[in-house]
Structure 1
Amino acid sequence: MRYDSIFRPGLFEGRSIIVTGGGSGIGRCTAHELAALGAHVALVGRKPAKLDAVVAEIAEAGGRATAHPCDIREEGPVGDTVAAILARHSRIDGLVNNAGGQFSAPLAKISQKGWETVVRTNLTGGFLMARECYNRWMADHGGAIVNIIADMWRSMPAMGHSGAARAGMLNFTETAAVEWGHAGVRVNAVAPGYIASSGLDNYPPEVRPMIRRLKTLVPLSRVGTESEVAAAIVFLLSDGAAFISGSCLRVDGAAPNARGNYPLPKGEPAPAFDGFHLASTPQVLSED
């Protein structure tokens, strides 16, 4: 079996695309879709075993991928990794800045170390990857960058460190689109809302009841799928988005538009798209 994409076969044939955080969740799903569409995918992440597992999955499905372990928070290793990808793939046509992470805590309980760790992961690392891809290849050849942020509109209580970093990444996206546009480099963002991804199982037990209630906050009456986020990423990387840059595409079922003074009408969940043949429901959502 292989990924069931809505995009035409061979869309990225001959192109090389980096996916950070490619060992799990949205990154893994996106890597599978890109490989199914002909891209040679370079997976970047901190855990070699997870990257190798996804490389094997992609190969079994008939695609091509390589693994490049790297802590994107460290400037030297990022430069070395991008250089190694260029040596292996000969080009970098796209970058999906997906790697990220955070933990749940109120602002008053977040230490400086905790704050800086999340900001370095969700903001600094994405900047370093984009800068190196631009300087080492895209400045002379063009390309497309998609930065994955989050639903941080109207604040992000209990995750203020991540909200600040994601908001910074949005501004970075807008700025890079202006500074790098002359080189034919498009820079956009995708903001996933509540998504049924493996990362949901990483939160502590006291957060799990809240996670199971997330679908009640969404006008479409459900959480999203990894495939729905991947489809947005793939579109922004494609030639169909050739005149889109400096934009952010929300994939959130209109959740940020809901207001406390308007109770959401109860209804059947809107139909979902799930083209990822290896997708599985997070355990926390199976406890309903």
Structure 2
Amino acid sequence: MNPVARFRDRTVLITGAGSGIGRATAHRLASEGAAVFLVGKTGAKLEAVAGEVKKAGGKAGFETADLRKPEDCRRAVEAGAKWNGRLDAVVNGAGTFPSAPFPNLTDEDWQQAIESNLAAPMRVTRAAVPHLKKGGAIVNISSINAVIGDKLSACSHYSAAKAGLLGLTRQLAVELAPEIRVNAIVPGAVKTPMLDGWNEDPADMKAWLERFVPLNRIARPEEMAGVIAFLASDDASYLTGATIVADGGVAIV
């Protein structure tokens, strides 16, 4: 276990915890003393991550849920609050990265993107607020697509949902203060399963990195987990309504 124990005696619920940033966040928070409750759609993945956390000396539980369904959001949060007898923070990491050229975008495409990337974190947060301890924290995982246009992806519905999540973050920061802090992280390209197949041509990827990413590489999930851990911890006790852009510099070029 990490000698740094910012989350000792705290319980954190993490959605989208079966892979990618959610998985890395579970490991990071558990290493700092948190009891982590993992929520996602695939039980086998959640069970595997929980097993990894326990093997490393941490405490983990999990609940499967389809967070596009309001009742599943409520049920998962209730299970998480009951599991360890308390709830101190929520990381809204679940989401999808759909693609559809705007002229071909259907109402169903639009609705599914909103349900997965905006409505789900809203519902999870709504269910969690009555359980969160004073001084609690909510961290929303948005996307660089919320703040810039993307010439390489056809994702207007995704971008709109993730931008909406930033608006929700700011408004909830005001409404839930001073008891609960609400902040967001805006990742750029991160090496996760969501990115698989996005650009498999090494030459094209190298050219893209050199042109658009000042740090000239894709992020590791663990780097996003570090920022999330900061926002969820008392080290960020005077931050609320903040958005931390962790994109390797993409938004400034």
Length-normalised TM-score, structure 2: 0.93
> Residue deviations 1:231-253, cap 9 Å, x none?
11000011110000001001011
For residue 88 of structure 1, report the CA deviation from its aligned partner.
1.1
Aligned residues: 247
1:155 maps to 2:161: no
Which residue number corresponds to residue 170 of structure 1? 166
2:17 and 2:83 mapped to 1: Cα distance?
A: 17
Map 1:263-278 to 2 at 5 A: none
Which residue number corresponds to residue 208 of structure 1? 200
Question: Contact 1:191–1:250 at 8 Å: present in 2 too?
Answer: yes
Map 1:133-144 to 2 at 5 A: 133-134=128-129, 136-138=130-132, 141-144=134-137
Map 1:94-133 to 2 at 5 A: 94-133=89-128
1:224 and 1:79 mapped to 2: Cα distance?
A: 32
> Residue deviations 1:43-99, cap 9 Å, x none?
000111110010111111111111110111211121122111111111110000000
For residue 104 of structure 1, report the CA deviation from its aligned partner.
2.3
1:70 and 1:212 mapped to 2: Cα distance?
A: 37
Which amino acid letter does the alignment assign opposite residue 139 of structure 2? V
Question: Contact 2:27–2:53 at 8 Å: present in 1 too?
Answer: yes
Greater gyration radius? 1
Tell me, what secondary structure is at the counterpart of 1:56? helix
1:254 paired residue among 245, 249, 253: 249
1:43 maps to 2:31: no
Name structure 1 gaps, 5 residues minimum. Answer: 259-288
For residue 212 of structure 1, report the CA deviation from its aligned partner.
5.6
Tell me, what secondary structure is at the counterpart of 1:85? helix
Question: Contact 2:97–2:194 at 8 Å: present in 1 too?
Answer: no
Length-normalised TM-score, structure 1: 0.82
Counterparts in 2 of 1:97 and 1:202: CA distance versus 1, 3 Å? farther
2:98 and 2:75 mapped to 1: Cα distance?
A: 29
User: Which has the larger strand fraction?
Assistant: 2
1:181 paired residue among 177, 180, 188: 177
1:235 paired residue among 223, 230, 235: 230
2:150 and 2:216 mapped to 1: Cα distance?
A: 21
Name structure 2 gaps, 5 residues minimum. Answer: none
For residue 213 of structure 1, report the CA deviation from its aligned partner.
4.4
Supply the RMSD in Å over aligned alpha carbons.
Answer: 1.6
Which residue number corresponds to residue 73 of structure 1? 68
2:162 and 2:82 mapped to 1: Cα distance?
A: 31
Counterparts in 2 of 1:25 and 1:214: CA distance versus 1, 3 Å? farther
2:53 paired residue among 46, 53, 58: 58
